[in-house]
Structure 1
Amino acid sequence: MKRATLVATLVAGGALLAVGGFYTGRSTQPTASAPGAPATAAERKPLYWHDPMVPGPRFDKPGKSPFMDMKLVPVYADEGGDAGVRISPALQQNLGIRTAMVTRASTASSFEAVGAVQFNERLDVAVQSRVAGYVEKLQVRAAMERVRPGQALATVYAPEWLGPINELLALKRTGVAPALVAAARERLKAMSVPDGLVRQSEERGIAQARYTLHAPAGGVVAELGVREGSAVSPGMTLFRIAGLEKVWAVVDVPEAQALQLKPGQKVTATAQADVTQTFTGTLAEVIPQVNPSSRTLQARFEVDNRAGRLTPGMLLRVQVAGPSVSRLLVPAEAVIRTGTRAVVIVRKGDGSFEPRDVKLGAELGEQFEVVEGLSEGDQVVASGQFLVDSEARLRSVLGGMSAASAPQGGAQ
């Protein structure tokens, strides 16, 4: 009986020691976290603090955001860092997330614009009267009529020339010294009497005062300043002929693109009414005047029109090609524009996603030039980036709410 009682007492004592040791160990050793369970706020050390609405800037201590009326949110090492967000492959497939690679290519800063055909004013020729007289006959009676080089335009009667011409004829009949005849000829030349009219008068022996004006160049009569029977005076413009061998395509170009233009750049023009009609030309000049309402400059492109297919007023679609430059390109659909910022969602090497501010350059069709923020070979989200961005912001806000609800000793 005494032996049984002693054994029972020893067993009970051992049990009490085991239980006491268990509780003593719990009170003196840190509790191990279960696999996969998040660490407590006291054990997690933030990498930095940021504003989830403006995730770019980082802060080394908690406080109030300088951008929004909210507290800065901590970012921990086990959250992937850099404000990244993880999405399971199944969810990525359900969301239709598609990525594209940032590439580098040699591209030309070309753009397309619509311009109107105008006369090339450098080819304009004025036909003027050198003497007072009358228009006896008008061969070209309407403006915008086509003329050929050397074509007769009008017959002018100049009575003021009769006296000097008759004087020359009289000197030749009397057989005076050749010097006097030469002086009479010089007087007629100073009065702008055509040589052909003087020669005709000498051949016939009768003073001729009717002369014909001929077109000095081909084109169209852009301005008709007289009618048949009208009086003319010295220096009066009777006709203005506009050449058509080369015409201007005047295009309104935005300021940013106008800075890239240089005289002599080659262009290809297509008729707006018929895309099969193509023309070639060069940039003549950029007019140094900005339209204050549209913030554009006018550029004059000199287009070859020897075939005569272009007429003023027609519309041309001008393709301007700039010099080839090596550029970093990102698909335009991958860029999220927020007014003053441009953001892309980058897929990192560990499979997580992060928003990243980028600085864009020229717009090249369906791609943007990236000046800053990305590197060649980066993977960017081209489809579903708005959902990823929303998920990242939501997790940042929820993480900030949970961190704020936990007891902390940080800054207010």
Structure 2
Amino acid sequence: MNSNYFLKYFFLMLLAVSLFTGCKQKPQVPAVKTAVQPKAYYTCSMHPQVHEDHPGNCPICGMKLIKVGLTAAAGDAAHIRISLTATQQQLAAIQTDTIGTKNTAAQKMLTGTVTTDETAARELSARTAGRVQQLFIRAIGDQLTTGQPVYTLYSEDLLEAEKEYLLARQQQKLLHNPDVDYKQLTASAESRLRLWGLSSAQINNLATSGKAAATTTILSNVSGTVSEIGVHEGDYVTEGMTILKTQSLNNLWVEAQLYAGESGGYKINDRVTLSFPDLDGQTTDGKIAFISPELSDASKVNLLRISVPNPQGLLRPGMLAYVSAATGSNQSLAVPASAVLTDGKGNKVWIKNTDGSFSPRKVTVGPGNRQYVPVLSGLNNGDVVVTNGTYLLNSEAIFKNGNEADMSGMKMQ
């Protein structure tokens, strides 16, 4: 009896200990790691498909990668914001334009050639006869500035003029004949030296040294890009002979041809758009400066000349140019055609926000021309849109947000 009681008591105690121990132990829940979305990554402005999580060089072209910060939350495509610093925007070639009223009428395309502006051509001529001893400008394309040495000249006439000037100065100091105006004689001799190409500094040096030199350095009185050199060292030049010619590349012409029946659609000062295949299709604005009043004898076509500013010197004479000119007038709120991205889900543009970031926006556009397309909905007058670099921004948005960065998640404004 006692042994049975003891066994029951032992099993009860063992069960109580087991239950107590089980209550003390908590189930082990595996830790769930939360994926941290990177706030920035590194990409290439030329190859936006490259995405790295650390700085370095592009594996395709070797360019330095740029850092891109993304401020949008994943899954919120309606509020995607991509932030780039000013340096990053420059490296990525981001360009913007402000929305406004433009002519979206159909355009006619003409083919033209970049030429020099002949009204800006200049010529340096010999002012006195002599022999070219040394030539400092030797190559076509050299840049020439006013006051720059061009050549040294041995000239007996110039040598005699220098001696006369020195003699007149000496007589003015030593002689005091009231019947002779020595000051006027000195001024006349100095004027002759200036007429023959000597600068004020050269005349002052001549007066200080008191010695006439056998050769004289002739300085340039023109500036621009050297387009022609008419002499060589050792050549004899005569008064009025062309030494060299220059042209200005700050403003150029684009000359295009059109048939006689088409010339009536163009007027002087009409604005046109020009694109240059040699500059990856870069576009610029110009205006019609000249329409020939007569047809070419050989081809019976009319010459159209457009004046094009070239402040950065990217354009070169001889380049091919495409001229787009509107054939009518259809003024409407328009966006540059290069700003619109089109896919199977519609059209969108990238806009620049007031804080400097960029966001996509769905738009509805109508038929336009190569330069502008009318905006039917989605944009307002004054909005700033990205015209170059849109594919880079788009690829970054897709990388960050996946398919949620498409237009299905964006609202019309």
Q: Normalized against structure 1, the TM-score is what?
A: 0.49
Rg comparison, structure with higher value:
1
